[in-house]
Amino acid sequence: MAYNPRMSILPSQHQQSRLGGNGGPNNPNHNRAMTQKKQEEEAAYANMRLPDREIVGCINELGIPFTVSDLQKPNPIQVQQIFEWFGEILMNKTRQTVDPAMRAAMEDVVGQQYGDGLMPADARSLMGFFVSLRTLMVHCGVKDFSFADLYRPTHDRLVKIFSYIINFVRFRESQTGIIDEHCNRAEATKQRIEFLFGENQNMESQLDEMRANRRQMEQLVTEKTRRNEELKKRLLDLRRAQEKVAQRLEDAKIKKGELANELEEKTALKLAMKQDCAKLRPYVLQSATALQNSLTELSNTLNGDKGHIDSLDRRARALQTSTDSFAVVATDVASCIKLLEEIAVELAKEEEENIKNAKQRDALTERGASVREVERTELMLQRQLAKWAERTETLRSQSEEKAARAKERMEELRAVHKKLTEERGEKGKDIERRRVRIEQTEKKMLDLKENIENEIHAAYDEYLKLESHVKLYITEMEQAI
């Protein structure tokens, strides 16, 4: 269907007659009810209708210049201004307040490029204001308010509408205290809810921060545990290597002792042979040939002894090389001891090893001068071991202090987390209780408002009945006169 920009937004008479003809069923009871309802509305309007001068006076009190002739021959622009004034007083809404929302709706429907051409700003704001104004009219009692009342107002319609609005304003002014009291209570309740909601948000943010800190601490603890496990494995490997090196050192020391004993035996044998040679020398001098043979034998024996001594020297040098390698191994052992610093459980075993080393050192001290070099080297190693043990003890005490501080911090965090959890639970319960109280209060307010409205309507009905009786009595008195 093509869009016609000149099409009127008001329903035609044919449409109105068709809607009126098909509006309800052809039922006598229904028609009777509609007739009765119409009569009641007419009676209520007769009671609510105000004189023209009173209506004009009330409008002039609002600061709008208005006369009886203006009411009898209404001008649409002036009537729209008066309705806008009532809307601003009762609903705090005007054309300017509804224009942004109508503009956004227009841009969503037809786009920003063609919006102003298809829907002018005045018509757009007037339509938006008409929707709010129709809601106000329904509350005032004018249920048949239409756009024609703004576009083509008539005297009878304006008198009816202004009468209902003025009566509504008067009723509202009479109930200002109750309305302000309920509004203040609702505002206080809203502020309290917002305050509690903000406090709840703050508590939740603090709880999230504590959870994040807890996750970080758990990650650090996990990392420390993993590192301790790796250090334990490394320590076990180093201890096995240390035991192997210690076993090799013991074997080398035993072999060195055996070689030293063999050297002493060879030396004693050489001295004995020299003594024998000295004893046999007078006999050898008797014959040159025998002497030459004896000399040759002694030379051979001497060369064999020299070769044996050279082999012993080579063995001594090899033993010295082994001793140097043992010093390097001792340096590695010192680095291993540095890794042992963080493991408190292994300290007792290390002390036992130190005691064993001290015993071995005492045993080696009692040996001869041939092993003094080894003893000095071992003394140096022992001093280094004492230094490393001291450093180990210092680092162990530091690590224990750090662990104790971390444990205390963890306990404090746990206590704070527990306290915050309890406070959050209490706050949640308090909020729930207050929410229930607020709901109960709102329900009581609604019930109280409904009861007040019912009482007001009942009083108003009684007033209408009394007024109708008084009018009837006055009519009868006039007829009697």
CA 235-238-243 angle, to 5 degrees, is 125
Question: What pLDDT, on the 0 to 100 scale, is given for residue 17?
Answer: 40
Is residue 14 over pLDDT 50?
no
Helix boundaries (H) for 175-287: 176-284
Measured torsion, CA atoms of residues 333, 338, 340, 341, in degrees rounded to the nearest 10: 150
Tokens of 77: 């622009």
In this predicted structure, the answer to whether residue 468 has a pLDDT above a threshold of 50 is yes
Residue 304 has pLDDT above 60, yes or no: yes
Six token digits for residue 258: 């055996």
Three-class SS of residue 75?
A: coil
Mean pLDDT of the chain: 77
Q: What is the rounded distance in angstroms from the CA atom of residue 425 to the CA atom of residue 408?
A: 25
How many angstroms separate the Cα of 311 from the Cα of each of 106, 259, 344, 372, 389? 113, 11, 48, 21, 41
423, 203 Cβ separation under 8 angstroms: yes
- For residue 78, the tally of other CB atoms under 10 A from its CB is 15
Residue range 387-438, pLDDT digits in tens:
888 888 888 888 888 888 888 888 888 888 888 888 888 888 888 888 888 8
What pLDDT digit, counting tens, does each position of 180-233 carry?
777 778 788 878 888 888 888 888 888 888 888 888 888 888 888 888 888 888
Residue pointed to by tokens 């039922």: 27
Mean pLDDT confidence for 458-473: 81
Instruction: Say if residue 13's pLDDT is above 60.
Output: no
Place of tokens 């965090």: 413
- Assigned token pair, 46: 């007769």
Amino acid type, 409: R
The packing angle between helices 76-90 and 155-174, to 10°, is 20
pLDDT at 21: 44
Any residues with CB less than 8 A from the CB of 453 and at least 6 apart, and which? Answer: none
Q: What is the pLDDT of residues 86-110, one digit of tens each?
A: 877 777 777 777 777 777 777 777 6
What 3-state class would DSSP assign to 264?
helix
211 vs 111, residue with greater confidence: 211
What type of residue is 315? R
pLDDT value, residue 25: 47
Q: With a threshold of 0.85, does the pTM exceed it?
A: no
Residue 128 has pLDDT above 60, yes or no: yes
- Please state, in angstroms and rounded to a whole number, the distance separating the CA atoms of residues 291 and 375: 47
Work out the pLDDT band at 235, boundaries 50, 70, 90. Answer: confident
Q: What is the pLDDT of residue 274?
A: 82
> In sequence order, what are the residues at sequence separation of 6 or more whose Cβ sits closer than 8 angstroms to the Cβ of residue 125?
95, 96, 98, 99, 102
pLDDT > 90 in the chain, percent: 0
pLDDT of residue 479: 81
Structure tokens at 122: 């005045």
